Structure 1
Amino acid sequence: MQRKLNKDVDQAPPYNKVSEVLKKSIRKIESRYESPKNITGAPSGYVDLDLMTGGFQPGDLVVIAGRPSMGKTSLALNIANSVAIEAEGVGPVGIITLESTEEQVTEKLLCALAGVNINRLRSGRLTEVDWPKLTKAAGRLHDSPIFVKSAPNLALDNLINLVRGMKNDQDVRLVIVDYLQLMPSVEESRTQGISNISRSLKGLALELGISVLLLSQVNRSLELRNDKRPKLMDLRDSGSVEEDADIVLFVYRDEVYEPSNDYTESRAEIIVAKQRKGDTGLVNLGFLPDSSLFVNLPKD
């Protein structure tokens, strides 16, 4: 009997009849229909962006790109707080940084969650008003399922093993990689190396059933244009990044080029330049530079 069972397992085809896949699809469709929420994936925390994307889905490679100082890392960490803390029952988040220490990442998470000026925190000039906010935020962050790893010069194979470990050990739902151009590659052509990284991360997202948020720089040549909003062609050393990504989000803040005297709140544009399964468009957010926090704008 056992020999027959083993034989049946060995002879199971490595593919599925469409009727079996259809059953799973119907169950998901029914679940979405019955859910009071419009978000089926991991929520970014930004209402208009989530309405446009439906949240980040398992298997998605999401590229967040922009020029330096636009807020790519801040946006990604805000999303980490949303998925792991603000949204109930979504799941753990992994953060892999190639440019910051784990302490620096944690401080940014903390200040965004508390709404506290990060420069005051780093210089030790906190006010009496700051401390209660920090204490409350620290408690929430302490209990959160966020896992962080600082790994400068992390090679692709080691990155893949690290993400697999986060999935196996912590069952992460979403992993942030900050950022693409800091990863070394063995290929002679940098473009080929970038292509191999993006293609591998897309395959890993599908294999593990997670969302991967990959941060990327864009070409500085866009600054020669009158309109400096990034386009898909501006992805730096892009290779196949544009093709591999399910969603491409560009972060743009006009004040980076034309500074304002108002340092309390600015405006940010999240340009949805590509979405494999949905519409493209523009999402307007507020940005609080003191705490590196992107916020929803009030509706008119």
Structure 2
Amino acid sequence: MSEYRWPIEKLNDILQPMRETDLIVIGSRPSQGKTTLMLNMAYEFTRKGMRTAYATVDRSRDNLEERLLQRHRYSEDLLKDGEDEYFAMRSRYREKLRSIPLFFLDLREWGETIDKVAYAIDDLKCFFRYDICFVDYLQLIREREGELKWFKELATFLQMPIVIASQLKRTVMNNPGNLPQEKDFHDFEEINACADTIIMLHRERSYDDNAPKKELRVIVSRDRGKPVNRETVLHFDWERATLMEEEQESIAR
């Protein structure tokens, strides 16, 4: 069975390599960094040579591309040279972004029920031949009964890791330090039964104005199907929606 190192090095310190049939669930409360982390992971997988799909039932392709384009500091610099140069550079970066094997799948065009989402990911894989798929996010899929089982079976059938975001319940607010726990997942029993890896995100700054602004706490409660207790801290430039450790000089082809 093929294995893949995580595209963010600090995650390799707390997680075993991803396997080709794995279902990975990333959960947090709103505005904690799920989409930002998954976009960075998808982009870095592509830079490392993996054909990567980012499926959404929430955002348009243009919206996701715009978030990735924020990682380049052309905006503030080029405005000094006039709007024509500014928009020309934006256009060039967008063309470069569309030349790499990162495929944004707007599943709203297919339908938002679990069977149609799964069918679209399966069908489009034949065309785009991607090696890994991100899904953003679970609670927007309608008729969701048994949805995690669908995704686990899909990962096994396609021999492809699937990373899916899930929004946590407000019960997080009742936990010590507002730290997320597995019980805060919607349908957490099914997630425990189906997910190979469970990751939770926490931005302390959301609850405490004096907390470090750029930190994202990554908590792993399950890995390779077994309970664990591991965590690390990533540092993000939230305005640019990018990891601070990364070099952002150009988009890799």
RMSD, aligned CA = 2.8
In structure 1, which of residues 250, 256, 269 is the aligned counterpart of residue 200 of structure 2? Answer: 250
Structure 2 length-normalised TM: 0.83
In structure 2, which of residues 221, 227, 232 is the aligned counterpart of residue 283 of structure 1? Answer: 232
Structure 1 residue runs of 5 or longer lacking an equivalent are 1-24, 29-39, 186-192
Contact 2:68 2:241 in 1 (8 A): no
Structure-1 residue corresponding to 2:58: 99
Distance 1:197 1:143, change over 3 A: same
Structure-1 residue corresponding to 2:250: none
In structure 1, which of residues 144, 150, 153 is the aligned counterpart of residue 100 of structure 2? Answer: 144
Letter in 1 for 2:35: T
In structure 1, which of residues 58, 68, 73 is the aligned counterpart of residue 20 of structure 2? Answer: 58
Aligned to 2:19, the other structure's residue is in SS state coil
In structure 1, which of residues 173, 176, 185 is the aligned counterpart of residue 131 of structure 2? Answer: 173
1:146-172 deviations in whole A, cap 9, x for unaligned?
111223451111111111123211221
In structure 1, which of residues 56, 66, 74 is the aligned counterpart of residue 36 of structure 2? Answer: 74
Structure-2 residue corresponding to 1:17: none
1:100-127 deviations in whole A, cap 9, x for unaligned?
1111011112223x2567xx7xxxx964
Shift of 1:134: 5.4
Whole-Å separation in 2 of the counterparts to 1:61 and 1:116: 37
Structure-2 residue corresponding to 1:46: 8
Higher normalized strand content (fraction of residues): 2
Aligned to 1:284, the other structure's residue is in SS state strand
Letter in 2 for 1:100: R
Structure-2 residue corresponding to 1:232: 182
Distance 1:154 1:126, change over 3 A: farther
Shift of 1:289: 1.1
Contact 2:204 2:211 in 1 (8 A): no
Structure-2 residue corresponding to 1:205: 155
Shift of 1:77: 0.5
Contact 1:115 1:133 in 2 (8 A): no
Q: 1:154-169 alignment to 2 at 5 Å?
A: 154-169=112-127
| Percent identity of paired positions between Structure 1 and Structure 2 | 21
Contact 1:66 1:72 in 2 (8 A): yes
Structure-2 residue corresponding to 1:266: 214
Structure-2 residue corresponding to 1:5: none
Aligned length: 239
Distance 1:177 1:48, change over 3 A: same
Letter in 1 for 2:101: P
Structure-1 residue corresponding to 2:141: 183
Letter in 2 for 1:286: H
In structure 2, which of residues 67, 71, 76 is the aligned counterpart of residue 108 of structure 1? Answer: 67
Contact 1:269 1:284 in 2 (8 A): yes
Structure-2 residue corresponding to 1:189: none
Distance 1:110 1:44, change over 3 A: farther
Aligned to 1:227, the other structure's residue is in SS state helix
Letter in 1 for 2:22: D
